[in-house]
Chain A
């Protein structure tokens, strides 16, 4: 099964994502609470997939995505976003994000998005 890195400053979101993904048999290789930590953990673990929140302290999700994609163009990164971040989302897609998962979470949507991106 694929291994996944969760990058989100919210413990609540990390807990929900971990619960859903582990329930589907994926391995959570690590959790990061900001974009810089997310980048560092990506370099360390090279996960099969990353779920990346957009609004985070220290380094936001877009900057982290750009850093990861600059060094690892094949990286699969799914953005996690509340509604209302359309312009961020456009920038994320232009920077190589594979897809996005909206908040509040819908379990079925999380599962189908992960499957779709891992199949790419």
Chain B
């Protein structure tokens, strides 16, 4: 995933063209093999066990490896070994740059140092970005917005599910506290219960999410596309509700809503927007709290 951030930086400073950026990302996209497939081909799990773990993933917000360990199908050592086999996405990105004679390794190192400096990243931040571990990456983008834990937790959960259902070559930008948000395309669902939440996804990136979730091509971001995004949000919200129910918190999901005209969401309570770029299209994750939101 670091390749997506670093590649964007190289593009921004003008040493990588838009076309080259897309080509490199595409080249490294399919290099990652699914953990279940690796575990079965290594003889660690049967296909039936892998299918069972995949099904359990639908019911809880946990990674394949974690569930497999919990079920006793894999050991921690085996998961570590399989993660290594899955491939280091940053190395694959670097390999794609070098193979195309775009940069030497020394040049890449120089640009990487500049990237670290201009983005004011610590060595730990850089390692987190290079890890491709969404749980380490998301806090880099949520830490400055003084958002409550609910917001950070939810954003991390949705990010994990975007990686799982939509694309693993995604790029986040900093979470922002806002008072209004306007978009022509918004899919949403609210929670009611021990606390109230509005969850929405706005922007042209809805097309990427809708198509990936429904496994269908849409000509435009129409009601069918937003309906698919609503289903995706519904799945995320279900996983979130399931997670908080373990802490004795009850929240019920309301029927999803979609907006295909220019719509403004405003709130007198806390409201946050987290931009996520999928294939260059922006999808904003919108969260409002305290039941003080208004939709016009």
Contact = CB atoms under 8 A, between A and B. Distances in A.
Interface string B222-240: 0110011011001101111
A9 to B, nearest CB: 6
B253 A103 contact: no
Nearest to B55: A106
Interface in A1-21: 9-13, 15-16
Contacts of B55: 102, 106, 109
Interface string A80-100: 011111111000000000000
B255 A13 contact: no
B255 A84 contact: no
A112 to B, nearest CB: 11
Nearest to A34: B255
Interface residues of B, number: 32
Contacts of B54: 106
B234 A82 contact: yes
Q: Place the interface of chain A in its size category.
A: 20 to 34
B231 A85 contact: no
B245 A84 contact: yes
B242 A84 contact: yes
A50 B240 CA distance: 27
B253 A12 contact: no
Contacts, number: 78
Nearest to B59: A83
B161 to A, nearest CB: 9
Contact of A85 (B165, B214, B228, B238): B238
A11 B224 contact: yes
B241 A102 contact: no
A106 B58 CA distance: 9
A55 B242 contact: no
Interface of A: 9-13, 15-16, 55-57, 81-88, 102-104, 106, 108-109
- Give me the 10 closest cross-chain CB pairs, A-B, nearest first: A82-B238, A84-B241, A84-B242, A84-B238, A83-B238, A57-B255, A83-B242, A12-B228, A83-B59, A11-B227
21 contacts: A9-B255, A10-B256, A11-B227, A12-B227, A13-B231, A15-B214, A16-B214, A55-B253, A55-B255, A56-B255, A81-B238, A83-B238, A84-B240, A85-B253, A87-B245, A88-B252, A103-B231, A103-B234, A104-B58, A104-B213, A106-B55
